[in-house]
Amino acid sequence: MKHLREAYRDVTAAQALTIVHDAPSAVGAETPLTILPSQKHGALVSTTRTSILQLPDELLVAIIEFVAKDLRSGSLDECEECLYDWDTRLWNHHHLKALSRVCRRFMRIAQPLLFRAIGFKSPGSPYETAPPSRSVRTLHHTLKETPRFQQYCRSLRIYIPDFDRSKTPHKYLVASDFAHWLTRTRCLSIHGGFQNSRQDRTCNASTWALIRSFVANCRDVEHLQLSRESFGLYLDPIFKWLDFPNLNTLSVHGISKWEHGKVELEPEKRRTAPFKSLILSDYEEGPEATSLFIQWPAVLSHFQFGSFYNNSHVMDYSMFESWLLIHKDTLKHVDIGYLSAKGSSGPFNATLFPNLEYLKLSRWQTHQGSVQFKADDANVLGPKLGTFCWGFGIFDQHSEGWLDFGEPESSWIRDLVNAAVACKSVLRTVEIQFSPDQWDTDYGMIYPWDLMDRLGDEVLRPKGMNLVYNDPPISRENWLEKLQTRGREGIHF
């Protein structure tokens, strides 16, 4: 080991950590990493070697956390809030394992992070928690043999397949132990396990018994994500059994239509739930149940409702206005996607919400036909609305076309900005979310991002506003090449 120290004794702290990552097996548990002091203005400050282990704990913790952070983008089963929370975010376990092998002091810092965010993923799908996969059983054994590791978990992701053919007895025992052991969990995500069988769409009592066990034991949960794999995730048991006292964010993907009577929320439960942020997507319930859901929290500051995909009910923005009015003084963020083609079109009236700061609406709901600015379109300009976002997306497997953002849409934004100036609105940012399929065969004759750039340069920035939009799927040069390949002429520049 002496020759290894001699080979790496002149590296910086950052280089030392890189060496640990690249060759963890070569570094023994007692290997001290050494660094040379920096040079200032070409002169050596000192000839004394300084070990990285002489740094105080707070610096070592910062270095290790920086090296071990996971830079992957979020997906459906990852909490957006936790991605940016150092206490609950995902960590790079390969880096942490390497760092924990450097020395006892590194191990003391890195080891707790190994258990901070627990979740299992194979290349493409998560590992099953019930029945437990081999990796889950290994973790269970480790936590059982070393109980002190249990206290480190802050984020837990569980996957339960809806249709388990193994018929494993006591398949929920390991997951149940997690509910009793990982009591300091702050972010809990459960995907699947809500449908009994392909023929029976009633809710799975075993999965809800597990959730109730988490409710009883994990009182620090702040973020809860529930998502269905097929069907069986109903609103009724959510009302009955979700009672996390410190819950701040409730995210539910895939609520199925309740087919066993009427969804009810007792009057004494209304305006009692602690969560302030409600996120719903792939939602199949109707207006009455939706109204009850919105009445459940005592205070609501963030509301997000994804576009319809498999919902036969009629809802529109005016209905959401009336339901959300009970939270008009606390709502700051509203994001509502495309709803029902049978509902009335028109904008969400933000003037009714005095503290609303962010509003995102679907172009397909504000205008179900052609786009033309009308007087009531200016109602999106609430008293404190600083950001308005216009989304062109359509849920799931459908994508907007290249022709969906053209001169009419550009003119509508121009008129909205002029209306904001006329009424002395506090609007400062307009966002355009437009992501056409790069493989679409009809690219139109105008590059949409040319229109957006022109809006920003000629309309918004001269008025002290910003225009924000997502990157195009193909560059302007590639777009021109595709047009030329198809023998098109008359392109507008």
pLDDT along the chain (493 residues), means of 10: 37 43 37 40 49 78 76 51 57 78 82 84 68 91 95 93 70 95 96 77 85 98 94 94 97 90 93 98 94 98 90 90 98 94 85 98 91 96 98 77 94 98 98 89 87 98 97 91 69 44
Is residue 346 in a domain? no
- The pLDDT score that the predictor gives to residue 91 is 72
Is residue 418 in a domain? no
Q: Are 251 and 222 in contact (CB under 8 A)?
A: no
Is residue 161 in a domain? no
Task: Compute how many other C-beta atoms are within 10 angstroms of the C-beta atom of residue 193.
Answer: 30
Q: Are 222 and 191 in contact (CB under 8 A)?
A: no
Quick one: DSSP state of residue 9? T
Give the Cα separation of 233 and 27 in Å (integer): 49
Is residue 11 in a domain? yes
Cα dist from 375 to 321, 322, 459, whole Å: 18, 21, 19
**CA angle at residue 491 from 487 to 493, to 5 degrees?**
150
Domain that holds residue 36: 2-61
Is residue 410 in a domain? no
- The pLDDT score that the predictor gives to residue 307 is 86
Q: Quote the number of domains for the chain.
A: 1
- Verify cis geometry, omega within 30 degrees of 0, for the bond prior to 131: yes
Specify the pTM: 0.83
Is residue 52 in a domain? yes
- The pLDDT score that the predictor gives to residue 121 is 62
Longest Cα–Cα distance of the chain, Å, equals: 81
Is residue 26 in a domain? yes
DSSP structure string for 230-244: SS---HHHHHHH---
Is residue 198 in a domain? no
- Could you give the residue ranges of the DSSP H alpha helices within 346-474? 363-366, 407-422, 448-455
